[in-house]
Amino acid sequence: MIEVKDIHKSFGDSHILKGVSTVLEKGKTNLIIGQSGSGKTVFLKCLLGIFSPDKGSISYEGKDYAEMEIDEQKDLSKEMGMVFQGSALFDSMTVEQNVMFPLRMFTKQSKSEMRDRVNEVLARVNLNDAHKKFPAEISGGMQKRVAIARAIVNKPKYLFCDEPNSGLDPKTAIVIDTLIHEITKENQITTVINTHDMNSVMEIGEKIIFLKNGFKEWEGTNKEIFKTDNEAVTDFVYSSDLFKKVRQMYIEERN
């Protein structure tokens, strides 16, 4: 669990985060949504420890990050997995080498132990036969699955995903959403996802935090988002005719 209390972050005269508070729950997919410039990326980087809030606190399992010793912060970083927007695989490394990279960096496992763990996570993301391929030789969806395998190879407590469906077709995006959701449940990870994908919101949004102009404008579940009368949320979520129709159907069913 990650508890965020009244965090503020500014860069020069730009006040990006303005008193955001929330609890990101263990074993759930916590989605951060909002328009470009709403503060989502800065918020995610604060959670990762890349940026330090100017005010407020971020606690991991009840321990304030700012009060940790340097060694404790380093240990915490080893418990974090990250799926980057563009997958961020090393082009010169095979799939197996990419996934093994965090094990080489952060563990003292033997090569056979590392290989066994790599085989395990690649099997979990349904990439049993891709070990010796290079990123350029596999599809975008497969690259994203490699990125997920790399993010979970160290058995993280916290998984952060930045636009994991960016550049994927709708069918592949659903596969990635489902995979992240299943892995979150299986391993009871605290998963935080920055996304613009409203299909992700509807499918796996167990907790949704909506940011607008640096403020937490709304939070709730993918069921509750249909019920809200918050105009900022409805304008963002139902900007497409499809979601307007879905919401209207939901309202009619309730009545």
The reported pLDDT for the residue numbered 240 is: 54
Give the C-alpha separation, 78 to 166, whole Å: 25
Q: Which amino acid is at 241?
A: D
The reported pLDDT for the residue numbered 8 is: 98
The reported pLDDT for the residue numbered 198 is: 86
What are phi and psi for residue 121, nearest 5 degrees?
A: -75, -30
Q: For the chain, what are the domain ranges?
A: 1-79+158-171+186-255, 86-155
What is the tens place of the pLDDT at every residue in 157-212? 999 999 999 889 999 999 999 999 999 999 999 999 999 888 899 899 999 999 99
Residues of the chain with pLDDT below 70 are 239-255
The reported pLDDT for the residue numbered 248 is: 61
| pTM to 2 decimal places | 0.91
CB of 217 closer than 8 Å to CB of 211: yes
The reported pLDDT for the residue numbered 227 is: 84
Q: Which residue has the tokens 């709403």?
A: 38
Structure tokens at 3: 């508890």
What are phi and psi for residue 52, nearest 5 degrees?
A: -100, 130
Tell me 135's DSSP state: G
**42 to each of 80, 85, 166, 188, 203, how far by Cα in Å?**
17, 15, 18, 25, 25
Give the C-alpha separation, 193 to 116, whole Å: 28
Give the C-alpha separation, 31 to 195, whole Å: 7
Give the C-alpha separation, 89 to 199, whole Å: 25
CATH number given to 1-79+158-171+186-255: 3.40.50.300
Give the C-alpha separation, 246 to 145, whole Å: 30
What's the distance, Cα to Cα, between the start and end of the chain in Å? Answer: 37
